[in-house]
Amino acid sequence: MKNFSLGKYALPVYAVLAFTYLLIPIAYTFVFSFNDYRRSNIAWRGFTFDNWTSVCEAQGVCEAFATSVSIGLISTVIATVLGTMIAIALVRYRFKFRSAVSLLLFLPMATPELVLGAGLAAQFFNVGAEMGFGTIVIAHVMFCLSFVVVTVKARVASLDPALEEAGRDLYAAPAQVFWKITFPLLLPGIMAAALLAFALSFDDFIITYFNSGPTETFPKYVYTAAAKGLPGEANVIGMSVFFLAIAIVVTVQVRSSLKAKRLAKIK
């Protein structure tokens, strides 16, 4: 017992348990995307590639996925454009109620989604709007906007105003300064904000549920389907999205580390 130390055994065990806990749902979903299911995808019935080769076979799964992707893209574009403009205004200009605006933008992030969803639904009902694709987009832009503003704002704040002044000094008109200097320098922040907005939109269930009417989004489809045992195709789509996200993260990491290495080499 001379060399016994808590760290030597307890730490690895703890780490393995923690990762198991984190990764089990993902592993389960992955494994069951290969299940040769019949009516419900709960019990293991045998290995098959069918779910992967014929993803769109289950009723409505691909339509729901396509709807979610287009809602995600549209709300991301709108929220990113609006949010970037707000972020620049908040950092660069001094105006009345500036700090109040800054604070109010945090509010939607802190408010429970249930409240936002129900409140918005009541508004749509009051004005007699028909629930569907349009109302979902409006709802998603609303809750993505704050996240975009916060993300882009950090980037704008770290941008040296002298760079834009140098642009003006070098004969660039305001619009040219924006497109040639401000925008390219903010781009990493804007991209990060857009990815975040898309992820939030694609994933959202609660607010969407209140405001979607008959429109079926992917999370809604999965929720309904889960009641009678999720079809394997949903697992396939879920896993595909997961792998796509991992691929994006890995690509970005590898690219930036390669860039750093290349810069170090030239120096």
Query: Minimum distance between the CB of residue 149 and other proteins, rounded to whole angstroms?
Result: 23
Our finding on whether 62 is near other proteins (CB under 8 A) is no
Q: Which of 6, 13, 173, 227 binds other proteins (CB under 8 A)?
A: 173
Whether the CB-CB separation of 88 and 157 falls below 8 Å is answered with: no
Find the length of the chain: 267
Q: Which of 1, 13, 100, 263 binds other proteins (CB under 8 A)?
A: 263
Within the chain, where are the H helices?
Answer: 6-32, 50-53, 61-92, 98-104, 107-110, 113-126, 133-157, 161-169, 174-177, 183-203, 206-211, 218-227, 232-266
Our finding on whether 1 is near other proteins (CB under 8 A) is no
Nearer to other proteins, 81 or 172 (CB): 172
C-alpha–C-alpha distance, residues 264 and 17, integer Å: 39
Whether the CB-CB separation of 84 and 186 falls below 8 Å is answered with: yes
Q: Which stretch binds other proteins (CB under 8 A): 9-17, 76-84, 141-149, 176-184?
A: 176-184
Matching residue, tokens 């918005």: 120
Residues 134-163 that bind other proteins (CB under 8 A): 160, 162-163
Whether the CB-CB separation of 137 and 70 falls below 8 Å is answered with: no
Whether the CB-CB separation of 196 and 187 falls below 8 Å is answered with: no
Q: Which of 3, 171, 214, 227 binds other proteins (CB under 8 A)?
A: 171
Q: Which of 165, 224, 243, 245 binds other proteins (CB under 8 A)?
A: 165
Nearer to other proteins, 150 or 192 (CB): 192
Q: Which of 92, 168, 228, 255 binds other proteins (CB under 8 A)?
A: 168
Our finding on whether 228 is near other proteins (CB under 8 A) is no
Query: Minimum distance between the CB of residue 215 and other proteins, rounded to whole angstroms?
Result: 41
C-alpha–C-alpha distance, residues 84 and 178, integer Å: 12
Q: Which of 83, 117, 167, 231 binds other proteins (CB under 8 A)?
A: 167
Whether the CB-CB separation of 204 and 138 falls below 8 Å is answered with: no
Residues 238-257 that bind other proteins (CB under 8 A): none
Residues 181-220 that bind other proteins (CB under 8 A): 181, 184-185
The CA–CA distances, whole Å, from 193 to 29, 58, 70, 98, 151 equal 28, 33, 18, 22, 6
Q: Which of 170, 191, 248, 249 binds other proteins (CB under 8 A)?
A: 170
Our finding on whether 166 is near other proteins (CB under 8 A) is yes
Give which of 243, 236, 248, 199 is closest to 62, Cα–Cα. 236
| Chain residues that interact with other proteins, rule: CB under 8 A | 160, 162-163, 165-173, 176, 180-181, 184-185, 263, 266-267
